[in-house]
Chains A and B, each alone.
Chain A
Amino acid sequence: MSIELFVKLLDKAHRGEICSVKEWDAQRVPTAVKGKLAKYELAKRVDKENPINCDDELADRYFKAGYEMAHELGIFCQDSERIIKVTEEDLHYGFSRAPKKLILGKGKDQVVMLPRRPEDGVRPLFTAPLGIVVTEDIWIPLNTGIAMQHEVDILQGGSLNTVFGSPLKGGTPYETVGGRLQYEYHQEALWRAGRPGMPATAPITSPTAFGQLGGYGIPHGFPVDQNVCMILGPAEMKTTYDAFHKVAHALNMGATIMSGASPMIGGYAGPPEGTAIAGVAWGLVQYYVHFADYGGCAMMDIRFNCNTNRDSIWALSTTIQALSRNTDLLIQSVSNQLGGPMTEMLLWESAAIMMALSVSGASVVIGPRTSGGKWTNHLSPLECRFCGEVLHACSGMTRVKANEIVRQIIPKYENKLREPDNGVTFQEAYDVSTLTPKPEWQAMYDKVKGELIEMGMPLKW
């Protein structure tokens, strides 16, 4: 039945109102956002001193604004340059088919994802890492090290940029081969880590549909009954034929679908308050347009390309609270850090954003995006462990308490966001043969963790 409805959706992408990309980006989206900011009196709401939103009534107004925007504006199909009209009935169909509980993985490595509310004691899941480029020579040891961290519930794995040493060019057969190759490496890493049943969001190396078609749900590819299929849009309120290819393939396979995209603060939706509205709208519409089993919202600030500054933490916490307070959906979000391995900056940023997302009601968080995802091999298992520890430890914490802590954390890194510490590579941060952090990196971790415990974060040694 879903596939028939999907075809009807495709029909809308082909017959909807014609609109140029520029009109969508520069007029339709900003006009819709401005209208909702005015109608619900949501402008100038950022509280930089309390970056984790504590106002439930405000979060609910953002939800109403985002919900209205979703069905009044619709979604733009970038390839057909037409608007996919979305009715309230469409939105509710999407919500109704989305699960209220997901069991992912197999055997002892199985995990359960549940809806959460702000300040909820239900344990959120942690997916690591975000798509950071990892070279083939260290892909298996590095991801083995990440999978060995029991704070990591779902392994996404680093992105490949070569296949058997040749450039992995998106949109070509290299990508198709890359999807399959990633599974071979992934499976080896899970086996070495002793967690063969661990679920994945996969395949991360799929910039177009080819990586997924080559690596997911096929014989000798990521098994459907263990792994989640990941479908990303290019920006909030936009989709593409590539995303639709992935949806079609996922529906054909009977796959679990995760959908996402990163609205940019300062981008099409404007200020943090506008981006929060667009974030809610995008968060809701994915359950219909991408047939998401779990969706939600990432977010970044266009000035820094991260979401650990005050504006981003406020906008993202408000967005996730709006979604988690007003639906029973499984809501995912993402952390985007700028600091690199073997820097305190990375740990402080991670503490701030993971705590904010945990207390705001995210069901699952993906991260870290170490070094802004910009530098090859700048990723290590230790920050993955740290992110998971904070995310899990802060479930059940009040937002007031979280703000007390985050106010102490942010000054430790915010003046470095323009010129972040990029840190070092995995090989420099770790003993690759034993998969243990270098003493200097371990000492930084111990120091920051100790200080967080003193601040009142319930981390355990």
Chain B
Amino acid sequence: MSDNNFYQRMTDAVVNGEVAEASRIAQETLNAGLNALDVIKQGVVGGTDKLGDLFQNFEIFLPELIMGGDAAKAAMAILVPHIPIAENYQAPGKIVMGTVFGDIHDIGKNLCAAMLAATGFEVTDLGVNVAPKRFVATAEEIGAKIIGLSALMSTSLYYQQDVINYLKDAGLRHKYYVIVGGGPVTPDWIRKIGADGGGKQANNVVEVCKQLAFHEKRPPFDEPLVIW
């Protein structure tokens, strides 16, 4: 089987949200001696790019995006440890995400989490109604780079600020980029609470995270990275 054939099969597995198949193909490529980074770039990322395009055009919807993200994540888990050191590959990193305390809405958070996973981020989704301390504890535990805070209600927005305050009080603010999103979030709010970034739509959030993942400046930012 040619390399291109492997890449195409991986792309198809990701687009079709076939988690077990993506894992199996990842292992097959390694067994066949393919370069893991090439498989990621040509196969996995090819699939995730296609997923993004299909969603933007409403040819697929949120469930397919979630499953595609899972398939990409499964393939990456097998491939990343086998990237040759000389390739100097940098994964985008880990993100802790959730809907803040007092809020049980999850569709926006799920959309962002799926798109981020499909972009190669390792996403830990804490679900909904998450207490500030839990975001920070999980970020510490898994070595996250970014904390993503979703809120749909004006009455839960304050908990985005609480997480940032908790990080400051615990002397951890410099360790994590904090991004915020959700219905009532505005650029003014992002600046007011001292978050590091935010976006108007899920694809904007992904772009912000991609820039933060490789940003030279450590948090916190004086001026947040906002794509609106």
Contact = CB atoms under 8 A, between A and B. Distances in A.
Interface of A: 21-22, 25-27, 29-30, 78, 133, 159, 161, 167-172, 175, 178, 205, 207-208, 234-235, 240, 242, 264, 266-271, 274, 302-303, 305, 372-376
B89 interface: no
B61 A235 contact: no
A26 B66 contact: yes
Contacts of B184: 133, 373-374
Interface string B120-131: 000000011100
Which of B63, B128, B201 has most chain A Cβ within 10 Å?
B63
Which of B64, B102, B104, B186 has most chain A Cβ within 10 Å?
B104
Given A171-B102, A271-B58, A274-B61, 6 more contacts: A21-B127, A26-B62, A170-B103, A171-B129, A207-B102, A375-B186
Main secondary structure of the interface of A (DSSP, over half): loop
Interface in B87-138: 101-107, 110-111, 127-129
Contacts of B186: 374-375
A207 B152 CA distance: 10
A242 B111 CA distance: 24
Contacts of B127: 21
Given A171-B101, A373-B183, A267 B155 contact: no
Interface of B: 55, 58, 61-64, 66-67, 101-107, 110-111, 127-129, 153-159, 183-184, 186, 201
A44 B53 CA distance: 20
Contacts of B129: 171
Given A25-B110, A26-B67, A374-B184, A207 B62 contact: no
B144 to A, nearest CB: 20
Given A159-B155, A169-B158, A270 B101 contact: no
Contacts of B201: 303
Given A270-B61, A374-B183, A161 B155 contact: yes
Contact of A235 (B101, B103, B107, B157): B107
B155 A264 contact: no
Nearest to B58: A266
A196 B71 CA distance: 58
Contacts of B66: 22, 25-26
A167 B106 contact: no
A170 B102 contact: yes
Nearest to B182: A374
Contacts of B55: 266
Contacts of A159: 154-155
A103 B127 CA distance: 40
Given A208-B102, A373-B183, A268 B63 contact: yes
A30 B65 CA distance: 12
Contacts of A303: 58, 201
Contacts, number: 101
Which of A21, A22, A26, A161 has most chain B Cβ within 10 Å?
A26
B63 A78 contact: no
Contacts of A269: 61
Given A266-B61, A267-B61, A21 B104 contact: no
A266 B110 CA distance: 12
Contacts of A270: 61-63
A7 to B, nearest CB: 22
21 contacts: A25-B63, A26-B62, A26-B66, A78-B104, A133-B154, A133-B184, A159-B155, A161-B154, A168-B155, A169-B155, A169-B156, A170-B102, A170-B153, A205-B155, A207-B153, A234-B104, A234-B128, A267-B62, A268-B61, A270-B62, A302-B107
A375 B157 CA distance: 13
Contacts of A169: 101-102, 155-156, 158-159
B149 to A, nearest CB: 14
Which A-B residue pairs are the 6 nearest by beta carbons?
Answer: A170-B102, A171-B102, A170-B155, A270-B61, A30-B63, A133-B154
A264 B66 CA distance: 15
A170 B156 contact: yes
B62 A268 contact: yes
A29 B106 CA distance: 15
B63 A27 contact: yes
Given A26-B63, A302-B62, A242 B104 contact: yes
Contacts of A29: 63
A287 B221 CA distance: 49
Contacts of A205: 155
Contacts of B62: 25-26, 264, 266-268, 270, 302
A40 B209 CA distance: 42
A207 B155 contact: yes
Given A25-B110, A169-B159, A235 B154 contact: no
Nearest to A208: B102
B46 to A, nearest CB: 22
B27 to A, nearest CB: 24
Contacts of B63: 25-27, 29-30, 268, 270
A258 B63 CA distance: 29
A372 B201 CA distance: 13
Contacts of B106: 21, 25, 234-235
A429 B24 CA distance: 61
Nearest to B156: A170
A30 B61 CA distance: 9
A78 B104 CA distance: 9
B59 to A, nearest CB: 9
Contacts of A133: 154, 184
Contacts of B111: 267, 302
Nearest to A78: B104
B104 A267 contact: no
Contacts of A264: 62, 107
A258 to B, nearest CB: 18
Contacts of B183: 305, 372-374
A434 B128 CA distance: 44
A6 B67 CA distance: 35
